[in-house]
Structures are given as structure tokens and as C-alpha cells.
Structure 1
Amino acid sequence: MPHRTIPFALVGIDHVVFLVDDMPRALAFYRDVLGCAPGYSYPVMGMEQVWAGAALIVLWDTTHPGAAAAVPPVVGGRNVDHLCIATSPFAPQDMRDHLARHGVQIVREATHGGARGMGHSFYVLDPFGNKLELKGPAEYPDGRA
């Protein structure tokens, strides 16, 4: 069978969609805790988007009539473990303090690999149980940034 060239190149994550049931609370978390900027709004669908760097996080309110197609058939079903959001450099204690000020519990703190290399990560849950990894840039043993 002849090898076929893929007619596209992957660029990165465009967006992820999280199901929520309290839009004001969701927007407050993504704005105040993560610093996301407002994105596109789809009020007929009960959907708001926020910018996380160059990607979007889509918040879809399952209590809104326009979200009927998004309501999972099994309550509590899960098909995503977490979303990793790349961050600028940070001091770990500053991140701990910031999250504590907002009442956000750190689920896990570790150094993990990712698309940008090994870096410091904080795992937190948004108010709806979605796990987020806030991952700093690569850290190198020789001190390179």
C-alpha cells in the first residue's frame, strides 16, 4: 500500500470544552484564578469562551436550554482526565499563595514532562471538578530558562 502524505500539520490545541452548571461561578474562577480573558459568547447556547493564552476554554452551562445536546447521558460520567495549561515562569510559593487566596486546593504539585520539557506543575480542580495542570516552562539542571 503506498504511503500517503497527511494533508495538514498539527498546530496545537485550539480549545477544550468543559461542562459547567453555574456560569457566573465558572467565569469568576477562570478570570480571577487563572487570569483568562473573555472570548466569544454564545448566549443562545449557554456557552462562554475564555482565552487561555492562544487557546480557548469553552464553558458550556448544562442548566441552559441551549445546552441540551451537551448534557451527558450518564450523570457523573468522565472522559477527560485533565487539561494542561502552559504558564510563564512562576515562583512556586507565589503560586501556592495565589491559589490559597482564592480558596483553590492544590491536588498535586510535581515536576513533569510536557511539550515544553520538564517543568513545575500544580494540579487544581475548577469549581466543577475539572482537573487543570498549571505547568511552568522547562527547567534545566544547568539553570537555563
Structure 2
Amino acid sequence: MTVPFSLVGIDHVVFIVDDMDKALRFYHDVLGCRPGYTYPALGMEQVWCGAALIVLWDITHPGGQKAAPPVAGGRNVDHVCIATGPFDHDELRAHLASHGVAIDREALHGGARGMGHSFYVKDPFGNTIEIKGPAEYPDGRG
């Protein structure tokens, strides 16, 4: 079966939030995302994460009411992996600590770019973000 399009990659993910200022501080200050498109009537802000967008949709805003999950506290995404360039692991640990962001776990495992080191953190709304460095072993072998 052929499909009438070619896949390019992830365009965006949408996270439900309930405090837009807090969300923007985290994504700008902690992760270094740049401001993207804004939709004030919807209570929605987008931030650039490399070539992809993270959409923040505030369910406390009248325009975001339809985004509220049907079950209070129900989750709709397990995690999002953000691919990064090389980084010093100790510097990243210090940066996260300086923003009061706890590291849930660290791991070395495969991803789209191969085997690499990952740090898992939570944003202020409980969404899990995987910060994944470049491949240490592009084909998964040491």
C-alpha cells in the first residue's frame, strides 16, 4: 500500500497546561525554546523546539476549555523527546537544578539518531520531557 504523501518528521506536539506564564518560563528558560505562533483567542502559545513546535494550550482560558481532558488528571501523552546537540552532563544537571527541575532518571538507549544519553524531567504540569543528546553509537553498537 502506498500513501499519497511522504513523511518528514514531527511538526508539533500539544501539551495541556493550566498556567501559561509558568509554562512559558519553563519552555523558554529551562529548555531554551524560542517564541512561536500565538493564538490569544484560543489561550494557545507555541514555542519553537529546533525545527518543531511545542504547543501549550491553557485549559483555564475560555478558548482552551475544549482541550480539557474528559477525566481530571488524565494523561494524553507519555513523553516528548527533544533531540539536542552535544552537552556536558554535569552542566545540564547544574542548569536543571538552578531552575528547581528534578531529574527523574538518566538513561543510555536508542532513539531516532542512535544510542545516546537522555535526561528525563517533568515540566510544571507533569508532562515528561526527554532531553536526548546526540548519538554516541549511531548504529547502536559500542
RMSD of aligned residue pairs (Cα, Å): 1.0
Of residues 70-79 and 116-125 in structure 1, the stretch that sits farther from structure 2 once superposed is: 70-79
- CA distance, structure 2, for counterparts of residue 61 and residue 29 of structure 1: 14
2:70 to 65, 73, 87: 73
Listed as ranges, the gaps of 5+ residues in structure 2 are: none
**CA separation in 2, counterparts of 1:140 and 1:7?**
34
CA distance in 2, matches of 1:11, 1:98: 32
Offset at residue 78 of structure 1 (A): 1.4
**What are the within-5 Å matches in structure 2 for residues 1-145 of structure 1?**
4-140=1-137
Letter aligned with residue 33 of structure 2: C
Tell me the distance in 1 between the aligned counterparts of 2:108 and 2:38: 35
Partner secondary structure for residue 5 of structure 2: coil
Runs of 4+ residues over 3 Å off in structure 1: none
Structure 1: distance between partners of 2:51 and 2:3: 24
Once residues 76 and 112 of structure 1 are traced to their aligned partners in structure 2, the CA distance between those partners, rounded to angstroms, is 29
- 1-structure distance, mates of 2:78, 2:2: 32
Scaled by the length of structure 2, the TM-score of the pair is 0.95
TM-score, length basis structure 1:
0.93
Gaps of 5+ in 1: none
In 1, the alpha carbon distance for the partners of 2:2 and 2:17 equals: 39
Question: Matches of 1:50 and 1:102 in 2, distance apart?
Answer: 19
